Amino acid sequence: MINRFRREVYQSFEQRADVGMDLVDALTSAPMVESPVGMSESPLFRRRFSSVYDFLNSGRIAYYRLRRVLYRNQPEEAETIAGYEVYAADCTREPTPEAETLPDRGQSRKGRGAPIEVGHVYSWLVRLVANGTSWCMPLDIRRVPTDSTDSQVGAEQVATLAAQCNRRPKVVVADSLYCNVVFLSVFMTLQSIFALVRIRSNRVLYEEPPERQPGQRGRPRKHGAKFKISAPSRKPDRVEACSVLGQPMRLLAWTDLHFYKLPFLVGMVLSVEFLKADGTPRFKRPLYLFWTGPTSVALADLAQMYLWRFAIEHMFRFLKQHMGLTASNSPSLQARLRWVWSCALAYTQLLLTRHKIADRRPAWHPTYVRGRLRPLTPRQVQRSVLPFLLTLGSPASPPQPAGKGAGRPLGYRPKPRKRHPVVKKSKKQRKTA
């Protein structure tokens, strides 16, 4: 599979393909990435340092082809829960407060109370591979423009996934940022893809309207009685007690509920309450989830699906700390997007080679957990992947030295780059429903 994946990735680079493939290999085995040009010092990068920026600035990638390549090359051993393939949608931010020549910079924050950051936002859609680990399979990456929102781009990614996926049932998990009309409305037209999103405790949903009486006049009602998440007006329809990874939980579920602006998307509200050893709540408030799929799914499986979502957060941390996801300082939007995709492809190579490399973890690293062999982490695979890639070879052609270039003409003075202001959204733009 790894050879097929590398060959198809190489074919997806429409210009500067040889340089792009060498850059992906260098990122895969890099001990630490401080800048894109630093990848030219890797033994897997066979070209001059200037070719790195040549690829980022002038290369061309067929992203639509890459999305199909990534989907076709998902690991066969990717786990499921209750027969559902589990996907996660989330955004990561790239702060660029001092990049005045970088266009389309906006303001964003990680959550309530967090400081405002100036920069770009990238929306990721990944397949969760191994439960209990941080391994994910990137499938789609798109930059969120300032005239759009995270939910709009996330909905487009889900629609793209539905257009090229198989008929096996799937679940897309997301945090409370995606619990709105823009994101959830896309699931009304999908047959085998369902949403499991976190919902805030201050939200209000609605019961199904009462049955229409014979001879009753007027427009049929769309909503029934109000249902406050923090103060349920009726007893739960289902109650379960379970334990996930040694953590006891109490699960409550209320069915046949919908949002005010989505009356035809009927779902289930799930309350996940974490318990101490003595049975008392561990936290002040439970975790509330909204599920759009069949109500026959076990509540413990739904809770496990959402808790699995945090693997994407670990992936973001690894990409930023060890693969330089935010290391590009180019003023070009396309160059930054090519760099982000290169990091994602390098991470995918680590995922596909994790079972083929020698286990060279240090002696002080834990090897067994709960009596089972602990899977290798992305960092451990990255430390040991260089010999494997050297023996594997590359689909890229070897470099052909052409001598020194002519350089800039005498007296050439480049024009100063254009300065771009920070785009500030109005209250109407920020409102998502």
* Per-residue pLDDT of the chain in tens (433 residues, 90 and over written 9): 899 999 999 999 999 999 999 999 999 999 889 999 999 999 999 999 999 999 999 999 999 999 999 999 999 899 999 999 999 999 999 999 999 999 999 998 877 778 888 999 999 999 999 998 999 999 999 999 999 999 999 999 999 999 887 788 999 999 999 999 999 999 998 989 999 999 999 999 999 988 877 877 878 888 889 999 989 989 999 999 988 878 899 999 999 999 999 999 999 999 999 999 888 899 999 999 999 999 999 999 999 999 999 999 999 999 999 999 999 999 999 999 999 999 999 999 999 999 998 888 888 887 877 667 888 899 999 999 999 999 998 899 998 887 777 888 899 998 999 999 999 876 555 544 4
Q: Which helix (H) or strand (E) holds 390?
A: helix 378-392
The CB density around residue 80, as the number of other CB atoms within 10 Å, is 15
Question: Global pTM?
Answer: 0.92
Long-range contacts of 416-423 (CB under 8 A, 24+ apart): 417/101, 417/331, 418/101, 419/100, 419/101, 420/100, 420/101, 420/102, 420/103, 420/104, 420/105, 422/105, 422/106, 422/107, 422/118, 423/104, 423/105, 423/106, 423/107, 423/146
pLDDT at position 102, please?
A: 94
* Bridging pattern class, strands 117-128 and 106-108: antiparallel
For tokens 């393939």, what's the residue? 85
Alpha helix segments (H runs only) across 189-310? 299-308
**Identity of the amino acid at 167:** R
How many angstroms separate the first and last alpha carbons of the chain? 43
pLDDT at position 370, please?
A: 66
- Listed in sequence order, the residues at least 6 apart from 183 whose beta carbon sits closer than 8 Å to its beta carbon are 151, 152, 154, 155, 158, 174, 195, 197
- Token reading at 61: 């990638």
Helix, strand or coil, per DSSP, at residue 301: helix
pLDDT at position 218, please?
A: 78
pLDDT at position 424, please?
A: 87
